[in-house]
């Protein structure tokens, strides 16, 4: 009898696991802190095949909240509510508060969701404040990310800067988002935002200012009032970057005292060769050499005879506690400064610029999020899937009236056509062993399998697979989780197939 009860409970546990909001396979495995020795990987857990892999199911309640400061115009709030209704959010709340009280308001909102007692389908929060007042949005995002009712659910944040006073009409970003959500309901939210960015971007002093999205989503997110698993329309050729000209790549990799780093370099070199990139490799650069090599790379692109249509820069090194890159000499360089350097390259104006950053961004090892209250027999049978604490979040930084992102993004150079991919969330460890890093090795596998895919969507798949890995190391016997961070101001679909 005990055997039958145990078997029944195991089946029930598997069924419960299948009800995760993201349709996906649960894949086990391990990776290791990049600063530690590299033991062998543990065998993966059995996989559980689920339908609709890689897409969020948002069939549960959708809740939206607008937090606006008193200086924000009523017309801006009104167009936001219209966008929410177009996206199918049936519960829309509106609160006016000073920016200093936003955190307290979000805490109350979180408690309200947890008291509801049932999981949500999706939540959308719009934070609207005058230019420059919303200085630390990370705290606001973290407050809601810890909500038990939202575990595994997509959480979308619109961080909008707004000029004080009444505005005669809503800005390009909000009107474009509202129109496209109604006209292209099959498109994923990342596709919609890319098109909106194309419409919103404005020229300024020889540079193109653009909104920015920051994503840790693990699957495609479709909020239109349609079957979320229906076929997506093919984008027109004009909606895609033209990569028919030359492609150039630069690898700056600290190999010394980083076991497995050479494997990452070799894997990326092979991938770039397949994708038609002309690659330059520099190993063990000092902090100053990071800057000098990137400046020389930019100069070569500006002076070459044949034009380039895409640039890829891979930065691989140890990371500092505040997200700095550490050169082979142990000195620091800010990755954002390197991005800003290449964004001024004349040969790359209007062309996609891809940055891959394989480095720690702090020392935190994420234990992930799981159900907080479970009967003893669930805990005894099998621990439920744990979600990385930073996963399933999409932030959009934009100007409610104007064209640029309003300076919301910390460290952002506020330029268009830039894609940055971090191997770890802010403040967290990036993992690597003697076989290479989880991020780079998974990236290469996914791009080799589907080189014709939209890069933003493929990176979301890479994040899904990385998030499903269980991480253990010699300094800790408990499982830890990792999560990518993707920042994009791309204005077109980006396909790297040669």
Mean pLDDT, residues 19-41: 37
Active-site residue flag, 360: yes
- Show the beta-strand stretches assigned E in 376-431: 393-399, 418-422
129-182 pLDDT, tens digit per residue, is: 888 788 788 889 988 888 888 888 999 999 998 766 545 456 788 888 888 877
The total number of structural domains that make up the chain = 1
How far out from the chain centre does Cα 194 lie? 14
Q: Are 180 and 239 in contact (CB under 8 A)?
A: no
Tokens (6 digits) for 433: 């062993």
Least confident of 116-125, 227-236, 454-463: 227-236
Identified catalytic residue from 122, 153, 209, 318: 318
Residue 55 DSSP SS3 = strand
Residue 171 within any structural domain of the chain: yes
Q: Which of 166-170, 251-255, 305-309 has maximum average pLDDT?
A: 251-255
Q: Are 428 and 468 in contact (CB under 8 A)?
A: no
Q: Are 232 and 438 in contact (CB under 8 A)?
A: no
Residue 26 within any structural domain of the chain: no
pLDDT at 162: 78
Which domain does 204 fall in, by range?
Answer: 55-215
pLDDT at 22: 44
Concatenated DSSP letters of 301-329: HHH-SS-EEEEEEEEE-EE-TTS-EE-TT
CATH (domain of 155): 3.40.50.1460
Mean pLDDT, residues 361-388: 68
Neighbours of 244 (CB within 10 A): 7
Residue 174 within any structural domain of the chain: yes
pLDDT at 203: 53
Residue 135 within any structural domain of the chain: yes
Identified catalytic residue from 181, 345, 360, 428: 360
Residue 149 within any structural domain of the chain: yes
φ, ψ (nearest 5 deg) of residue 87: -80, 0
CA distance 398 to 173: 7
DSSP conformational letter for 481 = B
* Ranges of H-type helices in 66-218: 74-86, 102-116, 137-145, 172-183, 189-200
Concatenated DSSP letters of 284-296: S--HHHHHHHHHH
CA distance 22 to 152: 7
Residue 198 within any structural domain of the chain: yes
Q: In what order do the strands lie in the sheet with 318-319?
A: 318-319, 325-326, 332-333
- The label of the residue with tokens 């994708």 reads 275
Tokens (6 digits) for 384: 């439920």
pTM value > 0.75:
yes
Active-site residue flag, 318: yes
Residue 385 within any structural domain of the chain: no
Q: Are 432 and 36 in contact (CB under 8 A)?
A: no
Residue 368 within any structural domain of the chain: no
* pLDDT, the chain, mean: 80
């Amino acid at each position: 009898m005990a055997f039958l009860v145990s078997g029944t409970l195991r089946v029930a546990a598997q069924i419960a696991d299948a009800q995760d909001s993201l349709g996906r396979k649960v894949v086990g495995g391990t990776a290791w802190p990049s600063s530690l020795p590299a033991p062998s990987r543990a065998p993966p857990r059995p996989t559980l095949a689920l339908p609709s892999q890689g897409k969020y199911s948002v069939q549960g309640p959708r809740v939206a909240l607008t937090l606006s400061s008193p200086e924000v115009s009523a017309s801006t709030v009104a167009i936001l509510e219209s966008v929410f209704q177009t996206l199918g959010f049936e519960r829309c709340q509106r609160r006016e508060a000073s920016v200093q009280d936003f955190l307290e308001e979000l805490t109350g909102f979180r408690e309200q969701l947890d008291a509801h007692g049932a999981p949500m389908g999706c939540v959308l929060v719009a934070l609207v404040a005058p230019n420059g007042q919303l200085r630390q949005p990370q705290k606001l995002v973290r407050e809601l990310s810890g909500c038990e009712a939202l575990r595994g659910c997509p959480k979308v944040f619109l961080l909008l800067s707004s000029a004080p006073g009444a505005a005669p009409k809503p800005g390009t970003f909000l009107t474009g988002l509202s129109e496209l959500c109604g006209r292209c309901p099959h498109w994923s939210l990342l596709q919609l935002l890319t098109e909106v960015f194309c419409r919103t971007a404005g020229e300024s002093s020889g540079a193109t200012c653009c909104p920015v999205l920051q994503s840790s989503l693990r699957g495609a997110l479709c909020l239109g009032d349609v079957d979320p698993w229906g076929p997506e329309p093919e984008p027109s050729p004009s909606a895609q970057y033209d990569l028919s000209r030359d492609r150039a790549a630069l690898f700056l990799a600290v190999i010394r005292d980083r076991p497995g780093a050479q494997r990452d370099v070799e894997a990326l070199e092979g991938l770039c060769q397949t994708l038609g990139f002309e690659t330059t490799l520099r190993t063990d650069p000092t902090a100053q050499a990071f800057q000098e090599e990137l400046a020389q790379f930019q100069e070569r692109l500006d002076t070459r005879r044949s034009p380039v249509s895409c640039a890829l820069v891979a930065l691989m090194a140890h990371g500092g506690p505040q997200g700095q890159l550490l050169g082979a000499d142990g000195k620091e360089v800010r990755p954002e400064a390197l991005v800003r350097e290449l964004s001024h390259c004349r040969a790359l104006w209007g062309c996609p610029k891809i940055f891959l950053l394989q480095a720690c961004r702090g020392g935190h090892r994420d234990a992930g999020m799981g159900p907080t209250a479970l009967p003893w027999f669930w805990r005894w049978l099998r621990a439920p899937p744990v979600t990385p604490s930073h996963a399933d979040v999409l932030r959009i930084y934009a100007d409610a009236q104007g064209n640029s992102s309003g300076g919301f993004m910390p460290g952002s150079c506020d330029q268009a056509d830039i894609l940055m991919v971090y191997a770890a969330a802010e403040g967290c460890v990036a993992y690597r062993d003697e076989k290479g890093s989880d991020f780079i090795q998974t990236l290469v596998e996914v791009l080799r399998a589907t080189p014709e895919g939209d890069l933003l969507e493929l990176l979301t798949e890479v994040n899904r697979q990385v998030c499903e890995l269980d991480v253990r190391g010699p300094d800790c016997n408990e499982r830890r989780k990792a999560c990518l961070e993707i920042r994009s101001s791309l204005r077109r679909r980006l396909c790297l197939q040669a």
